[in-house]
């Protein structure tokens, strides 16, 4: 019994010590949003839970707020689980199979009241590149062309 317990303890220690986040990836959203008619307060960009179709657009875990610096936004997120995606074309192909467009949420003031609206951005209007930053997981930069609402 003592040998079995020692072996179990040793095995658990090895698993915890040498665990790895293989396949984890990160997304960095970069872009500008402009509106002539509305005072944009903030935008909400999709998490990988939403991009993978696990959460719907009404879930609080589907979008993260990106602070605006003038009209510019820059938000980094990490994947929710390990994945095989290290190639931008494979990742884009997968996302296109889930949804024909990237959906974001925009918060703006209208007549003194805060409103929210979904905006769809065609995948062709997003430039995706792989950034080598020597950190854990592949970093994909999603450079979104100017968004106009």
Domain parsing of the chain, residue ranges = 22-148
User: pTM for the full model?
Assistant: 0.80
Instruction: Report the topology of domain 22-148.
Output: Immunoglobulin-like (2.60.40)
Q: Which pair of structure tokens corresponds to residue 131?
A: 């950034």
Query: Would you say 48 and 63 are in contact if contact means Cβ atoms under 8 Å apart?
Result: no
pLDDT digits (tens, 9 = 90+) for 6-50: 655 655 554 544 444 456 889 999 999 998 878 899 999 999 999
| Helix%, strand%, coil% for the chain, nearest 5 | 25, 45, 30
b/e string for 29-45 if b means 16 or more Cβ within 10 A? bebebeeeeeebebbbb
pLDDT, one tens digit per residue, over 77-124 is 998 776 667 789 999 999 999 999 999 999 999 888 999 999 999 999
CB count, 10 Å around CB of 24? Answer: 16
Percentage above 70 pLDDT, the chain = 83
Query: What would the pLDDT profile of 128-148 be if each residue is shown by its tens digit?
Result: 999 988 888 889 999 998 888
């Amino acid at each position: 019994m003592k040998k079995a317990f020692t072996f179990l303890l040793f095995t658990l220690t090895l698993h915890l010590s040498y665990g790895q986040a293989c396949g984890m990836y990160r997304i960095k959203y970069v872009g500008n949003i402009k509106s002539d008619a509305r005072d944009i307060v903030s935008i909400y960009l999709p998490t990988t839970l939403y991009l993978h179709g696990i959460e719907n657009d009404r879930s609080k875990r589907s979008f993260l707020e990106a602070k605006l610096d003038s009209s510019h936004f820059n938000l980094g997120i990490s994947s929710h689980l390990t994945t095989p995606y290290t190639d931008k074309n494979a990742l884009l192909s997968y996302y296109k199979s889930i949804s024909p467009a990237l959906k974001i949420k925009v918060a703006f003031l209208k007549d003194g009241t805060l409103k929210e609206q979904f905006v769809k951005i065609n995948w062709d209007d997003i430039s995706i590149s792989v950034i080598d930053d020597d950190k854990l997981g592949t970093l994909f930069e999603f450079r979104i062309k100017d968004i106009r609402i």
